[in-house]
């Protein structure tokens, strides 16, 4: 249960006074409480409305926005959908982060791929026993359901033993709306 990379990034984010949380596989592992697999990257999630705060917090870093799979310099413009992925790198120490911009509307988180799917803003993330914020697993898994890779399926299987019935129901409903043929649905009862 070392989570050394997460702890280091958590220190980096100290003083950032907007919500932020680990996403992707690290979020699943933080939820479970131990590392279940090797992680090749670090993904953070922030709300789209807070993107400029993040950029100021990481001043001195190089930022690229991803447009149609291509990297483009991100100046100071406010990025809107369909852009949702920012890559930040620190030449001084070699750190790299993938930042995923999440949508909100009033007090709700909105799934950018299907805005019929939402959740109350205060139910989107949790904090690990060691104080590290992470995107809740049912939301992470909903994102991972698109173009599911082997590591995404591993994360799903790992999380299923820990997910509460209410969170399983939420994920099942979201998948039924967004991907009604997804293979994970047969495991969500």
Q: Tell me: the pLDDT tens digits for 47-76?
A: 999 999 999 999 999 999 999 999 999 998
Whether 1 shows a pLDDT value over 50: the answer reads no
CATH of domain 4-137: 3.30.460.40
The DSSP bridge partners found for residue 90 are: 95
What's the rounded mean pLDDT across residues 17-32? Answer: 97
Q: What would you report as the CA-atom Rg of the chain, rounded to the nearest whole angstrom? A: 16
The domain locations on the chain are: 4-137
| Residue 125 burial by Cβ neighbours in a 10 Å radius (0-12, 13-18, 19+) | buried
- CA 157/CA 154 separation, integer angstroms: 5
Q: Tell me: the pLDDT tens digits for 115-168?
A: 999 999 999 999 999 899 999 999 999 999 998 999 999 999 999 999 999 999
45: helix, strand or coil: strand
- CA 148/CA 150 separation, integer angstroms: 7
Answer for the pair 5, 12: CB distance below 8 angstroms, yes or no. Answer: no
């Amino acid at each position: 249960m070392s989570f050394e990379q997460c702890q280091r990034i958590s220190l980096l984010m100290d003083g950032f006074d907007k919500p932020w949380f680990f996403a992707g596989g690290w979020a699943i592992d933080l939820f479970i409480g131990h590392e279940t697999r090797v992680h090749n990257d670090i993904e953070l999630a922030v709300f789209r409305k807070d993107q400029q705060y993040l950029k100021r917090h990481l001043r001195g870093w190089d930022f690229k926005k991803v447009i149609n799979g291509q990297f483009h310099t991100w100046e100071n413009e406010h990025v809107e959908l369909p852009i949702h992925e920012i890559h930040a790198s620190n030449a001084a120490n070699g750190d790299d982060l993938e930042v995923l911009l999440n949508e909100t509307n009033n007090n709700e988180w909105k799934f950018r791929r299907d805005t019929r799917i939402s959740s109350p803003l205060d139910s989107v993330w949790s904090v690990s026993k060691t104080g590290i914020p992470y995107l809740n697993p049912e939301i992470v898994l909903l994102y991972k359901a698109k173009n599911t890779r082997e590591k995404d399926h591993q994360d799903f299987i790992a999380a299923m033993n820990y997910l509460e019935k209410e969170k399983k129901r939420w994920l099942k409903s979201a998948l039924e709306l967004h991907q009604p043929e997804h293979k994970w649905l047969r495991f969500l009862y």
